Structure 1
Amino acid sequence: MNNVQFRKHFRIQRSVFEELLDKIKGDLTATFRGGFTPTEPEVKILVFLWYIAKEDAMKEIGVLFGIGTYTVHKCIREVSKMIAALSNEIIKWPSFEDQCEIAKSFKDKSGIDHIIGAIDGTHTQLLNLPNDSKDYFSRREYPSVQLQLVVDHNLRVMDAYTDWPGSAHDTCVFRNSKQNRFHGHFLLGDCAYPAC
């Protein structure tokens, strides 16, 4: 599979996959104790990426990768935990010097000065309402929590914030997040975000 196909299927560049593999491969390697051959770390990560990129049923993913549905579930859970454990190492707000470099790259691509990132919010659907609170119902009428992401010019996540129920407006989430001061730089966002 070439790099374009890889990105289309897994929604990340192959180089990012390889970087992730290098970081967590040692913790994903299973010891063979007889029975079925352990799933290789590369396959575990690809199964996880396919699941979050495509939202296919676990049974379908199992057929695609030649593993059982329960193994798909284990792969997703295991890789999710590994990535969550790395989140503070991977997701970092850039230093002022890095912000200047990002702003230069954005200007080279778009011609707009002082941009250090793009921001948007999305909803992560919940299966149950926390404390039966109606605040978690989004405008789309399903229970959710707000997820606000800020990415740089290479779509690398610089900030992820998710402390607000689905009924909260993007403006409210943004104003209460830690990333609302930029030292002369700006974020690009849709009309839900205030000009600041």
Structure 2
Amino acid sequence: MDRNQDQNAIVGVVASVLAFGALWIKILKIRKKITSHPRVKLDYERENYINSILYRGDQHCIEIRPIAFFNLCDILSRNNLLQSTKSVNIREQVVIFLHIIGHNVRFRVIGSRYYRSTETIHRYFRVVLRAILKLYKVVIRLPDESTPSEIRNNARFYPYFKYCIGALDGTYVRASVPLSIQGRFRSRRGGTTQNVLDAITFDLKFSYVLAGWEGSAHDSCILNDTLSRPRGLRISEGKYYLADAGYGIRNGYITSYRGVRYHLKEFSAQGPENAKELFNLRHSSLRITIKHVFWILKKRFRVLDTEPFWNFQTQVDIVLAYCIIHNHIIGVDPNDLLNQGLYEEPESDLIIPTLTGREEREEAKEWSTKRDEIAQTMWTDYMAGNIR
């Protein structure tokens, strides 16, 4: 009896093993059927998705027109800043990067849309970010010596601001930092932010960007920092930027008059009533350009108004990347950008002089006098009806 039971048990075990083996073979066949074709199909779907973004009109172009997109890819390729790999070409690498920063999409979501692993998306995001940053000194340039056409061709600004080369201001960008240092990054507007200093020209391009300062930092402190850097913001003798009053008037920076009406309507009942008010009005009319640039930037790159999910250094790098891409879009010229020796930069032996407190006060007094002269000349012409 026991012997028969043992035999039956053995037969049952063998039958189970055979049944499991048959089931496993069936599963493998099904999986083989599933995975044998999809490679081609996924590549096809991915290509269709990218083409739908690039060729179905501006609204599908991830906030960048195809002409600027392909020029950017060309620049990155010709200067060996990006290379196609066996599985991901340059076009796809750049599309993925722009999609993430343009619409604030997480890596795993982008992975599902492009049929790529999260690790692949993350790797190429880093690769493209590093490549974009290398374009900084090519795309973001200090202005030349000439009077900007936006001033030269407008009687309200010329000749009064003929030595003005741009506007300077700061903007707050959302920041994600460890709890232990959040107090330093909390701005007066609330939330943790980084305070980014920007200089722009009146054709809506950035000429200098300094990112990474804490949101609580004062504007004048950030400006002092950039002026002390060997590769900081440099201004030719006699030229100047228009700046917010928070930066303080100094050599190369003319601010508005404190305690004087600023945002006015020139020909309304509440128009300017004296030279200082007129100066502030014209000052704000020119400096509003930088506010417009900030608006464009935040409209184009939605990440700027949302909580970032990268580490802080990456957050700083991405702000610079926004500005580089913005300049590229505004004034793309591949023939200029692809010329000789773009990425060869000589070592700088520039020595930054340190001013004493007395020298700073004398410097501020000198530029305050220049501001008064501009304001008075402008008011005289205004009252005479020469610039209405």
Q: Do the structures match in fold with TM over 0.5?
A: yes
Structure 1 residue matching 2:135: 3-state secondary structure? helix
Query: Do the aligned partners of 1:116 and 1:152 also contact (CA within 8 Å) in 2?
Result: yes
Q: How far apart in 1 are the matches of 2:152 and 2:165? A: 10
Which deviates more from structure 2 when the two are superposed, residues 140-149 or residues 70-79?
140-149
Residue in structure 2 matched with residue 22 of structure 1 by the alignment: 74
Q: Structure 1 residues 54, 180: closer, same or farther in 2, change over 3 A?
A: same
1:139 is matched with which residue: 173, 188, 191? 188
Q: How far apart in 2 are the matches of 1:193 and 1:68? A: 47
| Residue 54 (structure 2) pairs with residue 5 (structure 1) | no
Structure 2 residue matching 1:155: 3-state secondary structure? coil
1:100-149: CA deviation from partner (whole Å, max 9, x where unpaired):
3xx104665996444543444223513326x8474233335544432222
Q: What is the count of residue pairs matched by the alignment?
A: 183
2:178 is matched with which residue: 128, 134, 142? 128
Larger % of helix: which?
2
| Residue 209 (structure 2) pairs with residue 160 (structure 1) | yes
Residue in structure 2 matched with residue 58 of structure 1 by the alignment: 107
Q: How far apart in 1 are the matches of 2:125 and 2:155? A: 37
1:63-115: CA deviation from partner (whole Å, max 9, x where unpaired):
33343322221221111111222322332212314xx3xx1046659964445
Query: Do the aligned partners of 2:195 and 2:215 also contact (CA within 8 Å) in 1?
Result: yes
Q: Structure 1 residues 167, 17: closer, same or farther in 2, change over 3 A?
A: same
Higher relative contact order, chain-length normalized (CA < 8 Å, sep 6+): 2
1:104 is matched with which residue: 146, 149, 154? 149
Counterpart of 2:118 in structure 1: which amino acid?
Answer: T
Q: Structure 1 residues 152, 60: closer, same or farther in 2, change over 3 A?
A: farther
Identity, % of aligned positions: 22
Counterpart of 1:81 in structure 2: which amino acid?
Answer: R
2:135 is matched with which residue: 86, 101, 108? 86
Q: How far apart in 2 are the matches of 1:110 and 1:126? A: 46
Q: How far apart in 2 are the matches of 1:77 and 1:88? A: 19
**1:2 positional shift:** 5.9
Q: Structure 1 residues 67, 15: closer, same or farther in 2, change over 3 A?
A: same
Structure 1: which 5+ residue stretches go unaligned? Answer: 33-37
Q: Structure 1 residues 3, 174: closer, same or farther in 2, change over 3 A?
A: farther
Question: Cα RMSD over matched residues?
Answer: 3.4
2:219 is matched with which residue: 170, 186, 195? 170
**1:193 positional shift:** 5.3
Residue in structure 1 matched with residue 126 of structure 2 by the alignment: 77
| Residue 112 (structure 2) pairs with residue 67 (structure 1) | no
Q: How far apart in 1 are the matches of 2:154 and 2:111? A: 40
Counterpart of 1:5 in structure 2: which amino acid?
Answer: Q
Structure 2: which 5+ residue stretches go unaligned? Answer: 1-54, 228-232, 255-388
Larger % of strand: which?
1
Q: How far apart in 1 are the matches of 2:206 and 2:99? A: 19
Structure 1 residue matching 2:173: 3-state secondary structure? strand
Residue in structure 2 matched with residue 35 of structure 1 by the alignment: none
Query: Do the aligned partners of 2:143 and 2:201 also contact (CA within 8 Å) in 1?
Result: no
Query: Do the aligned partners of 1:138 and 1:144 also contact (CA within 8 Å) in 2?
Result: yes
Structure 2 residue matching 1:145: 3-state secondary structure? strand
Q: How far apart in 2 are the matches of 1:21 and 1:87? A: 15
1:39-64: CA deviation from partner (whole Å, max 9, x where unpaired):
12112112111211211222232333
Q: How far apart in 1 are the matches of 2:221 and 2:208? A: 16
Residue in structure 1 matched with residue 230 of structure 2 by the alignment: none
Counterpart of 2:214 in structure 1: which amino acid?
Answer: P
